[in-house]
Chains A and B, each alone.
Chain A
Amino acid sequence: MTTFSLFPPSPEQRRRRAVLAVAAQVLFVLLVAAAGYAVSHYGRTVALRTSPVDPRDLLRGDYVSLNYDISQVPRRLWRGEAEPRRRRPVYVELQPTAAGYYAAAAVYPAEPATLPTGHVVLRGWISNAWRQGLQLRYGLERYYVPENTGLGLQRQPLLVRVSIAPWGQSRITGIEKLPAAASPR
């Protein structure tokens, strides 16, 4: 075996390292895919209600925009000592409601140490803060759908199922129409 050399590697070293580097990349892409399955398998699934968005920008490209009930929360839920600042990462405590979906219970600047049973934490960012409330972003505002099936989804409230993995990733695992009869909050 030749000595380890960075500048420059011998041709056989180069080839071997190239093969390793490419194999690692393929493995990483497969791991991302595996993480997708793992999140829905090991994660806690919560249902979140969305309200219809402005019908003019319903479908942008291949995804629908989702406007969650928990995207706007009243200011009194903020649990930080400092004023909430735009773009700041936050931890949103969610609690189940009688209607079957989850609602925001509190917004923390850092991960809360203890939670009441049944409650879960979803991470997000403050996209806007004003006197009465907070506008939050979860990174879950887009749902990629097969072509021409998204349009019908949005004129009414939807129930979006989100899986939250213990290690922090999350993904949308399902989306269904909420019967219009289901009463708002």
Chain B
Amino acid sequence: MNIIEILIKIFQESGFAGLIEEPRSLVMILLACFLLYLGIRKKYEPLLMIPIAFGILLANLPRTGITDGLIHYLSLGVEYGIYPSLVFLGTGAMTDFGPLIANPSSLLMGAGAQFGIFTAFLMALALGFEPNVAAAIGVIGGADGPTAILTASKLAMDYLPAIAIAAYSYMALIPMIQPPLMRLMTTKKERETVMKQARSVTKTERIIFPIAVTIFVVLLIPDTAPLVGMLMFGNLLKETGLTDRLSDTAQNGLTNTVIIFLGISVGAKAAAQTFLTLRTIEIIILGLIAFSFSTIGGLMLGKIMYRVTGGKVNPLIGSAGVSAVPMAARVSQMEGQKANPSNYLLMHAMGPNVAGVIGSAVAAGFMLKMFGG
């Protein structure tokens, strides 16, 4: 064997030769680089976009065998729905349900903002998706990444990367997607509405809330247990004031670790053969429709509450019902201040915002019950 033969052998066994055999991998590598650009340069949900994009990159570099080893084992956490539930544990530990407890009527706006889930579900069916896949696509409208991933992992594993990327991309684009709809759906007078401060919430209420919600919601829809149960467990750790170490771990170390595993596993599922299809483009478009209709649903409920309360509720807080904590609430705050500089809607918008988290978990539980087999 001479030097030339050795070099040829090295090249033939290299990833470059693999790219020639499977040129679609090159497209996926370019896509991964584009998503990394969005995450790093444009700061689109970088905490998840970067791990997902890097997962796509690793999985599509030919001949590495990584998807049979490390990635395979990391992916078990996605397949069994472990990571999204653990992310919810951290989310619960980071969330203050006080604004919701103080103003429970905001639950209605959280419910209205799930409208997009069911609209997108119907549209996906009309496009010929299987009912279980349509259900998973619809959940993108909940604007809740872990919920969308959990539902997709149970109902539509092949479409998981497209659904996850759509969900996180649109969550990052909320400041661009929502404001035009908010201005379209509301009058200037409605946007100028200044809301009264809600009542204070006692520590006892804060402690009882997660326990009561867990018992009630999980008893009614047991499929919500992994999400609602973990969300409320995390919140209880925070509110008792006796488990600060556990709460701190849930908020920081655990969540960060799980996000790394979750992101890279989801990204690695995006193989060229399954990802580069027309279906992926359809899912991305349906995701945008789901998001938009959820925003409209929340705003509609906001407008109804504005009328019912005689102008005491600013309908802009309705759009925060799409979950995406706290970005959606910030958008309500910004739009409210644009209409009336003395308007501080942030805390009011947090009510529908966290209600949306519960609402999307319930909607996902419903879809899992209907199509989970």
Whether A and B are associated in the same complex: the answer reads no
Interfacial residues, chain A to chain B (CB-CB below 8 A): none
